[in-house]
Structure 1
Amino acid sequence: MDVFLLAVLALLAALAVCDLFVGVSNDAVNFLNAAVGSKAAPFWIIMAVASAGVLLGATFSSGMMEIAKTGVIVPEQLTFEQVMFVYCAVIVTDVLLLNTFNSLGLPTSTTVSIIFELLGGAVAMACWKVWNTGAPFTDLGLYVNSGKALAMIMGILVSVVVAFFAGLIVQYLLRTLFTFRYWKTYRYFGALFGGAAITAILYFLVMKGARGASFMEPAWIEWIETNTQAILLAVFAGFFLLFEAAILLFKANIFPIVILSGTFALAFAFAGNDLVNFVGVPLAALDSYHLFTAAEGADPSVFTMEGLRESVRTPTVFLALSGFVMCLTLWFSKKAHRVIRTSVNLASSARGGKEQFGSSLPARVIVRSSLRFHKLAMQFVPTSVLRWLELRFNKPRLRPGEVELPFDEVRASINLVLAAALIASATSLKLPLSTTYVTFMVAMGSSLADGAWDRESAVYRISGVLTVISGWFVTAFSAASACAIVCTIFIFWGKPAVLIGMLLALFVIVKSNFFTKSDETEGEEAKQLDRGDRESIGELLTTSVDRYLNLTIRLFAGGLNAFVAEDHNELKRLKADAVSLYDETTARRGEYYQMALEGGGTKADRDARNFYYRAFTNMKEVSHSLRDQLGVSENYVANSHSPFTGKMRENTLHLARDLLALREHFTPAKCAHILELIEEAQKDFLEQIGAERISLRKSELYLGYLLFSREMLNRYMMVKLLQAELEAKPKADAEKKTPQSVGSVDSTQTDG
């Protein structure tokens, strides 16, 4: 039993480290997006501040560890063996579920998942005990702390609504005060705002979170609670005077200080509230092991765990080590850095690009209803008030070449301070919140108040909010059901099932997160477009045109061969790849609008952007036609319609071979040769249709193949021509200048 327990504890520790890595990669970036989006400081400074917040906040999370021990289960009703089965089932389910959701790109919450996994495991164990002992079904409530579980669930639900409306109201009021030209008014109100923000951060994080710190002495906590009001007044007065002096004497901008303080605060609150999601269960299992081993000779199937009721401070070393792992993840996880960009784009004020979420019917209904209500409400507001508000929310025009930030310093400050305050308040009450959802909803509320949800983006933003809320229910149901199943398997199959399940979870999480190659092509292309000048655009076209051409030909030729072979699964896969290709080329073409908005550059740069737009328009149209063509082919084969025969079949296979050979050397001569073959194939079809009874559906599909082949070749020849013209333009411009300079030298020498 001892060897088994030690193996289980070792595996729990390893899974906790992996869980920390996966969870932080997807969740902790939520406290970085505001600082990164507003460019308050260099990236390394933002990361250093966040790391300090995570490391210190982890030591304030000791009180939250009680949730894993007594928040859902009733320990005195369960034996040591049963408790360990529940904890092992929870950690295995948590790791596999989070990894599955992340792989599918579905919204999830580590807090929601851990609570409902504990609930599912506890209910499964309770059902087994009731069934095994023959007790009445009503005894299920003896094994589940339903009151505390319901309070935590309601806290999470309420926090989503509170976070959204708090962000909406506070942002609206402060934007009315500061306006988008806040540099004109902040010298009067900036010190007041900064002092209030820092005081709120100190109050919610330190003073309300002191009881959860593993190193705080009872005397220190009592002194803080006794002198709370005096401390807050002193802090506010001190920072107000300091900021006011900096503004008046040095014309300093205090918003970066507030943003960095808010980043520290939100990182602190995240670590204090969410650390239990990753290490709470392993630490609860460790405490259970200590209680069991302290009772020498105890039977694990009889020894009950009422000792977990005792409040024991988690050793600071465990919390600090967990914080250290979280900091390493922040710095070295590439997935974390990619998620930052996604989070910034979702709350961005910039428009015209591809939204993260699509539209939905509920979102459309909400937008239409809101527009009607807004139109009705405006009839009761005086015109003078409307004009005044319009002036307060009027954005300044960007100068040529100036890039619009995803959100400015005012909104970044509010996002950080509000989210940190809400999360820290819940932590002080020992209520777990979904930090992802709270941060997301504060950002959505503030962006709505700021006018980032205009009629171009409102449907997509509301769809995002609805997706997050629906994701809450999906996560909850999936976590509870999955953990109940895993726990049941452990109960009936015993120790071997526990070890196999934990080893399987460890293998899956390590393989999928540490040994999976990521495609960095998109990131490289984004970097090439950062400048929007002729050189970077030329580099992008050089690499992307050949890539998209090869991919298009491969998909279409593969589709022709799969159609002839009547391979429905292959056609389905190729169609999915074609959809991805269309989305990618659409997004790449959309970059033109961002470059056009930024403006600036020389005439050569503007000409290059025009070449870029024309080239990607052609490639987008080809990918659109390819997607449709493969979709028609898939439906044709899925419905078991008759295959091509005779010349139609031969010409289809011949076309596929010639197109694949064209990938190596795409030249006008080879394209002209294939176009001639297409003409011959059409003549053969006219002869075959006269001799055979060919259905309209089959005729349209075959002619669609030929038509797409013509369109693809013609459009890509145009793209190659544009690419060559862009590359030749600098040489031509240089040659025009060279004769003039030579002539001037010759004339100078002659005159001499």
Structure 2
Amino acid sequence: MDIFLYTVLALIAALAICDLFVGVSNDAVNFLNSAVGSRTAPFWVILSVASVGVLLGATFSSGMMEIAKTGVFVPEMLTFKEVMVIFCAVIVTDVLLLNTFNSLGLPTSTTVSIVFELLGGTLAVACTKIWMSGAPFSELGSYVNSGKALAMIMGILVSVIIAFVAGLVIQYILRLIFTFQYERMYRWAGGIFGAVSLTAILYFLVMKGARGASFMQPEWILWMDENTEGILIGVFAFWFVVFQSAIIFLRANIFPFIILSGTFALAFAFAGNDLVNFVGVPVAALDSFHLFTSQPGADPEVMTMGGLRNITHTPTVILAGSGIVMCLTLWFSKKAHRVIRTAVNLSSATRGGKEQFGSSLPARVMVRSALRMNDVFHQIIPKSVFAALDTRFVKPRPKPGQIELPFDELRASVNLVLAAALIASATSMKLPLSTTYVTFMVAMGSSLSDRAWDRESAVYRISGVLTVITGWFLTAFSAATACGFVASLMAFWGEPVILIGMIFALCVIARTNFFSKEAPEETEETARQVDKGDQSSICELLTTNVNHYLDRTLTVFSDGLVAFLREDDASLAKLKAESISLMDEISERRGVYYSMALQGGGRKRDRDARNFYYRAFTNMKEVSHSLRDQLGVAENYVANSHSPFRGKMRENTILLAKEMQQVRDNFSPQACTRVLEHLDLAQQSFLVQIGDEHISLRKSELYLGFLLFAREVLNRFMMVKLLQTELEVETAKTAEEEAEKKTTFTEALVEGSCLQNTSSDKQTA
């Protein structure tokens, strides 16, 4: 028994460390996005501030650990063995569930997962115990801490609404005061805004969140409670004097300081509230083990765990160690850095206009309803009122060549300070919140009040909000059901299933996050090259991308033909997914044209090169769109078990797949002409075969669709290659002209220098 328990504790500790790494890698964007997006400081400075916040926040999260011990189940009703089954089932389910959700790209929350996994595991173990003992199922409610569980569930759900409304209202009021050109108002109201922000951070993080710190003494907490009002007034007065003096006499910009303070606060609140999601269950398992071993000879199937209520503090060493793991992840996790860059790029309006979420029917209905309500308000309220409000929301135009930031410093400050305050408030009440959902909803509310939701993006933004809320329910249901199933297996089959499940979960999380091949990402150098929008950069991009997308398109199509002939619907599904990814990637790169056009400027040849870029990527996008549709039809054909190609149709399809591979390896007009001639022959032979064999309409359309797509891909890529060649010729001419001008200029300088020397020699003589 001792060997088994030590093995289980070791596996739980390993899973906790892996879970910490994965959780911080995915959630780091929550407290770094605003500072990175507003470019308020170098990246290493932002990481340093966030690391200090995470480390301190971890030590303040001791009180949150009670959630895993007594927040969901009633420990007096469960034995040591039953509690360990619940903990093992929870951590196995948590690892597998979060990895599955991340792989599918579905929104999820570690907080929602852990709460409902504990609930599902408790109900499963309780039902098993009641069934085996023959007791009535009416006793099931005595195993669940229903009051606390309901408070946590409602807190998570209500926090989403509160975060959105608070972000909307506060940002709207501040924008009315400061406007987008806030330099003038900032001189008079900047000190007040900064003092309020810093005072709110101190109050919610220290005075409210300090109660759960492992090192806090009761007399310290009592002193803060008795002097709260005086402390807040003193802090506000101090920061107001400091900030206002710096603004008036030093002309200092205090927003970077507020943003970095908000980054610290949000990192602090994240660690304080979310650490229980990663190490709460392992700490509870360790405490249960200590209780069990403190009574020698105790029976694990008899001894209950009511003593967990008496363990209210977690050792500071464990909390600090967890904080160190989280800090190391911030600095060294490439995944965390990639997620941050992706989030910043997606929130920018100058990166091609790609939205993170698609459209949905409820979002469309809500937008149309809002537009109708807006028309009604315009009929009731005088136009002068709307005109006055509009003047407060006029955005300054970026200068030519200047990169527009995703959001300004005022909005970044609101996002950080408000999200930190909400999360820290919940932590002080020992209520777990989803930091991901809270920060997301605050950002959505502030962006709505800033009129970032125009008619081009409103449907997609609302769809994102609805997707987050839907993901909440999906995560809750999946977590409770899956953990209940795993707990039932462990309760019935015992030690072997527990060990196998934990080892399997450890292998899955290690393989998924540490040994999987990552897709290549767009580097900052490539992004800067695109943003230049000059002739030579665009020519270089087309030379690289055209060959790359031609290779991928023809490879997917030829592989699709082979998979169709083998009647392999699974391979066709994967190839269709790859074609969708290809279409999205090409569409995103084509959207870069709009950012280059918005920047304007440049010489005529640069503007012509941008036009070449747009035409080339438009042709490639149309090809990828047709490829997706054609593979979708083929997949449905095979999945529905329709009759396969036979005779000449099959032979021509096999030959077409081979010729597509040959054209991919050596794309030339001669090779394309040869394939087009084969397509003509294939279509003529089909007209003979359809009359002899009475081929069905469905099979005919699919076969002709293959031939038609082959024509389209060759014709369009020949057009793209022609555009690429023309641009290369024009770029070469430009380079020659500039080289010739440079040579002429150099010769003129040399000649002028010689004349000057001759004149000097004459004067000397």
Taking structure 1 as the reference length, the TM-score comes to 0.96
The answer to whether the 8 Å contact 2:357/2:461 transfers is yes
Question: Considering only aligned residues, what root-mean-square deviation do their CA atoms show, in Å?
Answer: 2.2
Q: 1:560 to 1:346 in 2, by over 3 A?
A: closer
Q: 1:209 to 1:738 in 2, by over 3 A?
A: closer
Match of 1:333 in 2: 333
- Establish whether residue 116 from structure 1 lines up as the match of residue 119 from structure 2: no
| CA offset digits 1:677-704 (Å, max 9, x no partner) | 2233333334444555444444433333
- Establish whether residue 540 from structure 1 lines up as the match of residue 530 from structure 2: no
Q: Which runs of 5+ in 1 are unaligned?
A: none
- Establish whether residue 633 from structure 1 lines up as the match of residue 610 from structure 2: no
CA-CA distance at 1:641 after TM superposition: 4.1
Q: Identify the range of structure 1 (304-313 vs 504-513) with the bigger mean alpha-carbon deviation.
A: 304-313
Match of 1:134 in 2: 134
Q: 1:520 to 1:298 in 2, by over 3 A?
A: same
Match of 1:515 in 2: 515
| CA offset digits 1:440-486 (Å, max 9, x no partner) | 11111111111011111111111110110011111111111111111
Match of 1:365 in 2: 365
CA-CA distance at 1:602 after TM superposition: 4.5
The answer to whether the 8 Å contact 2:351/2:591 transfers is no
* In structure 1, C-alpha distance between the alignment counterparts of 2:131 and 2:648, rounded to whole Å: 70
Match of 2:156 in 1: 156
CA-CA distance at 1:739 after TM superposition: 5.8
* In structure 1, C-alpha distance between the alignment counterparts of 2:643 and 2:58, rounded to whole Å: 65
* In structure 1, C-alpha distance between the alignment counterparts of 2:738 and 2:425, rounded to whole Å: 69
Q: 1:187 to 1:667 in 2, by over 3 A?
A: same
Q: How does 1:401-440 map to 2 (within 5 A)?
A: 401-440=401-440
CA-CA distance at 1:97 after TM superposition: 0.9
Q: Identify the range of structure 1 (706-715 vs 506-515) with the bigger mean alpha-carbon deviation.
A: 706-715
Q: How does 1:29-48 map to 2 (within 5 A)?
A: 29-48=29-48
Match of 1:294 in 2: 294
| CA offset digits 1:537-585 (Å, max 9, x no partner) | 3333232211211111112222223333433333333222222211221
Partner amino acid, structure 1, of 2:135: A
Match of 2:249 in 1: 249
| CA offset digits 1:290-323 (Å, max 9, x no partner) | 1111112211111111111114321111101101
Partner amino acid, structure 1, of 2:729: A
Q: 1:52 to 1:606 in 2, by over 3 A?
A: farther
Partner amino acid, structure 1, of 2:631: L
The answer to whether the 8 Å contact 2:176/2:392 transfers is yes
The answer to whether the 8 Å contact 1:348/1:452 transfers is no
CA-CA distance at 1:173 after TM superposition: 0.5
The answer to whether the 8 Å contact 1:207/1:224 transfers is yes
Q: How does 1:189-228 map to 2 (within 5 A)?
A: 189-228=189-228
Q: Identify the range of structure 1 (704-713 vs 522-531) with the bigger mean alpha-carbon deviation.
A: 522-531
CA-CA distance at 1:95 after TM superposition: 1.1
Q: 1:615 to 1:408 in 2, by over 3 A?
A: same
Deviating above 6 A after TM superposition, structure 1's stretches of 4 or more consecutive aligned residues are: 740-744, 746-752
* In structure 1, C-alpha distance between the alignment counterparts of 2:81 and 2:518, rounded to whole Å: 41
* In structure 2, C-alpha distance between the alignment counterparts of 1:151 and 1:292, rounded to whole Å: 30
The answer to whether the 8 Å contact 1:349/1:447 transfers is no
CA-CA distance at 1:649 after TM superposition: 2.9
| CA offset digits 1:146-197 (Å, max 9, x no partner) | 1110011111111111111000000110000011111121111111100000
SS at the partner of 2:184? coil
Match of 1:554 in 2: 555
Match of 1:682 in 2: 683
- Establish whether residue 72 from structure 1 lines up as the match of residue 72 from structure 2: yes
SS at the partner of 2:135? coil
* In structure 2, C-alpha distance between the alignment counterparts of 1:27 and 1:735, rounded to whole Å: 51
Q: 1:742 to 1:335 in 2, by over 3 A?
A: closer
Q: 1:697 to 1:541 in 2, by over 3 A?
A: same
- Establish whether residue 489 from structure 1 lines up as the match of residue 503 from structure 2: no
SS at the partner of 1:185? helix
CA-CA distance at 1:521 after TM superposition: 4.1
Taking structure 2 as the reference length, the TM-score comes to 0.94
* In structure 1, C-alpha distance between the alignment counterparts of 2:241 and 2:354, rounded to whole Å: 45
The answer to whether the 8 Å contact 1:528/1:539 transfers is no
Q: 1:737 to 1:143 in 2, by over 3 A?
A: closer
SS at the partner of 1:208? helix
Q: 1:691 to 1:102 in 2, by over 3 A?
A: closer
Q: How does 1:231-242 map to 2 (within 5 A)?
A: 231-242=231-242
Partner amino acid, structure 1, of 2:396: P
The answer to whether the 8 Å contact 1:347/1:443 transfers is no
Q: 1:738 to 1:533 in 2, by over 3 A?
A: closer
The answer to whether the 8 Å contact 1:211/1:428 transfers is yes
Q: 1:743 to 1:129 in 2, by over 3 A?
A: closer
The answer to whether the 8 Å contact 2:352/2:593 transfers is no
Match of 1:719 in 2: 720
Q: 1:133 to 1:693 in 2, by over 3 A?
A: closer
* In structure 1, C-alpha distance between the alignment counterparts of 2:86 and 2:435, rounded to whole Å: 25
| CA offset digits 1:4-56 (Å, max 9, x no partner) | 11111111111110111111111232111111111111111111111110011
CA-CA distance at 1:643 after TM superposition: 3.8
Match of 2:668 in 1: 667
Q: Identify the range of structure 1 (282-291 vs 530-539) with the bigger mean alpha-carbon deviation.
A: 530-539
Q: Identify the range of structure 1 (724-733 vs 4-13) with the bigger mean alpha-carbon deviation.
A: 724-733
Q: Which runs of 5+ in 2 are unaligned?
A: 756-765
* In structure 2, C-alpha distance between the alignment counterparts of 1:724 and 1:564, rounded to whole Å: 37
Q: 1:226 to 1:699 in 2, by over 3 A?
A: same
Partner amino acid, structure 2, of 1:586: S
* In structure 1, C-alpha distance between the alignment counterparts of 2:24 and 2:446, rounded to whole Å: 24
Partner amino acid, structure 2, of 1:610: N
Q: 1:721 to 1:78 in 2, by over 3 A?
A: same
* In structure 2, C-alpha distance between the alignment counterparts of 1:389 and 1:335, rounded to whole Å: 42
Q: How does 1:445-594 map to 2 (within 5 A)?
A: 445-523=445-523, 526=527, 528-594=529-595
CA-CA distance at 1:356 after TM superposition: 0.8
SS at the partner of 1:67? helix
Match of 1:278 in 2: 278
CA-CA distance at 1:588 after TM superposition: 1.3
Match of 2:59 in 1: 59
Partner amino acid, structure 1, of 2:24: V
SS at the partner of 2:298? coil
CA-CA distance at 1:622 after TM superposition: 1.0
| CA offset digits 1:199-253 (Å, max 9, x no partner) | 0000000011111111122222222222211111111111111111111112111
Q: 1:506 to 1:7 in 2, by over 3 A?
A: same
CA-CA distance at 1:346 after TM superposition: 5.4
- Percent identical pairs in the alignment equals 69
Q: How does 1:254-273 map to 2 (within 5 A)?
A: 254-273=254-273
The answer to whether the 8 Å contact 1:29/1:340 transfers is yes
Partner amino acid, structure 2, of 1:359: S
Match of 2:395 in 1: 395
Q: 1:746 to 1:9 in 2, by over 3 A?
A: closer
* In structure 2, C-alpha distance between the alignment counterparts of 1:467 and 1:460, rounded to whole Å: 10
CA-CA distance at 1:628 after TM superposition: 1.9
The answer to whether the 8 Å contact 1:64/1:276 transfers is yes
Q: 1:561 to 1:3 in 2, by over 3 A?
A: closer
* In structure 2, C-alpha distance between the alignment counterparts of 1:22 and 1:412, rounded to whole Å: 26
CA-CA distance at 1:79 after TM superposition: 1.3
Partner amino acid, structure 2, of 1:51: S
* In structure 2, C-alpha distance between the alignment counterparts of 1:449 and 1:737, rounded to whole Å: 50
Match of 1:98 in 2: 98
* In structure 1, C-alpha distance between the alignment counterparts of 2:110 and 2:198, rounded to whole Å: 29
Q: Identify the range of structure 1 (641-650 vs 701-710) with the bigger mean alpha-carbon deviation.
A: 641-650
Match of 2:84 in 1: 84
Match of 2:649 in 1: 648
Match of 1:184 in 2: 184
Partner amino acid, structure 2, of 1:250: L
The answer to whether the 8 Å contact 2:38/2:408 transfers is yes
SS at the partner of 1:169? helix
Q: Identify the range of structure 1 (363-372 vs 331-340) with the bigger mean alpha-carbon deviation.
A: 331-340
